[in-house]
Structure 1
Amino acid sequence: MKRTTLLVFLLLSVSFFSYGTTKKVYSWKDKNGVLVFSDTPRPGATEVKLNTPNLTMPATDTSILDNTASATPVNFKIAISSPEDKATVRENSGSVYVTTRVIPRFATGFKVQLFVNGAPHGEPSNSSTFALRGVNRGEHTLQAKLFNANNKLVSVSPVSTFYMHRASVFGGN
């Protein structure tokens, strides 16, 4: 019984004594030259003098790691760059090459749908150039629509007008 009481007394004394003392911190450089801190001394380590018994680290701001909330949506624009608006195309075969311009740069997975006289011309394409064949004489309108990889409409161009001029098969223009 005396032994158990003595053991408990020693344990309480040691824990009380260690509670009242401050921990020591040691530092050294490892083989890569990185500064290491520890509460365990080792050969070549120097004791770091602390000016406060309560060592607390400031909270780290981790908001910079969350890039989903800070993603700025890109505002895409599409326009018909060729033929120019109100241009006359002189081509007896009726061929017209239409070029669209996407700003900023055309993104992966995006598609362009060309509309001629209000009707879709073929399927949406990942190309910004279109070849029209057999276009009749007269006034025609062009418009382009830009879709993202999820097939969502991103931008619509202004309507552009061009005039097809073809020599008449009857001898007149």
Structure 2
Amino acid sequence: MRILILILTLLTLSCTLLAQEKRIYVSRDANGVVIFSDSPSPGAEEITLTVRPNLMDPTEVKFPEPKPAAPEPFKVQVFQPEDQATLRDNTGSVYIEGRIKPRFQRGLRVRLVFDGLAYGEPQNSAVFVLRDIDRGEHTIQLELIDQNGKLIAISPVTTFYLHRASVISPN
């Protein structure tokens, strides 16, 4: 313990000695080059430095006001059936599933457009079941409507083909 105290005392003394004011001398050599030194030489002048703390006045920092993030626009897509898909169902049932991004919110409604005409009333879900649909080519599209009845997003048109086997025309 005594050795540790002795080492700390020596360190403190050496720091104090090093912190004492140093003298600086300036002179010029035969070529006129300025020479700075801590020891005096013939013809050298002592320079007195005034040491001021390197402080700066505080400045006011203004951060820009964060802008509220613009809501991501809604995107609607028909997930099932896939575009150009052939569905085989002898009852004529077609199951339609839509996807809405970002997440479906309360108050929004989805309307199904089947073969260019609104099919039923808008509903709270993007899942539809159609019954007794005739065979052949059909198009579907989903429309996303807000609580005021305004159309806010629409899916691309999806075409599908319904195949219903029959006794008259089995193909």
The normalised TM-score by structure 2 is 0.60
Q: SS of the counterpart of 1:94?
A: coil
Residue 152 (structure 1) aligned with residue 150 (structure 2): yes
Select which of 103, 113, 123 maps to 2:101.
103
Q: Does 1:76 align with 2:74?
A: yes
Q: Quick one: distance in 2 between partners of 1:90 and 1:140?
A: 13
- Equivalent positions of 1:1-173 (< 5 A) are 70-170=68-168, 172-173=170-171
Q: Find the counterpart in structure 1 of residue 37 from structure 2.
A: none
Task: String of CA shifts for 1:108-134, please: whole Å, max 9, x gaps.
Answer: 111000001001110011111000011
- Percentage identity across paired residues of the two chains: 48
CA displacement, residues 20-43 of structure 1 (integer Å, 9 cap, x when unaligned): xxxxxxxxxxxxxxxxxxxxxxxx
Question: Which consecutive unaligned segments of at least 5 residues does structure 2 have?
Answer: 1-59
Residues 171/138 of structure 1: CA separation in 2 closer, same or farther (3 Å cut)? closer
What is the CA distance between 1:74 and its match in structure 2? 2.3
Residues 149 and 71 of structure 1, relative CA distance in 2, 3 Å threshold: farther
Aligned Cα root-mean-square deviation (Å)? 2.1
Q: Deviations over 1:40-89 (max 9, x none)?
A: xxxxxxxxxxxxxxxxxx8x98x56xxxx725132110000000000000
Q: Matched residue of 2:113: which SS? A: strand
Runs of 4+ in structure 1 off by over 4 angstroms are none
**TM-score between the two structures when normalised by the length of structure 1:** 0.59
Q: Give the paired residue count.
A: 112
Larger of the two Rg values belongs to structure:
2
Paired AA for residue 117 in structure 2: A
In structure 2, distance between residues paired with 1:113 and 1:124: 4
Using the TM superposition, give the Cα deviation of residue 171 of structure 1 relative to its aligned residue in structure 2, in angstroms.
5.1
Counterpart AA for 2:84: K
The amino acid across from 1:75 in the alignment is P
Unaligned runs of 5+ in 1: 1-57
Distance 1:71 1:123 in 2: 33
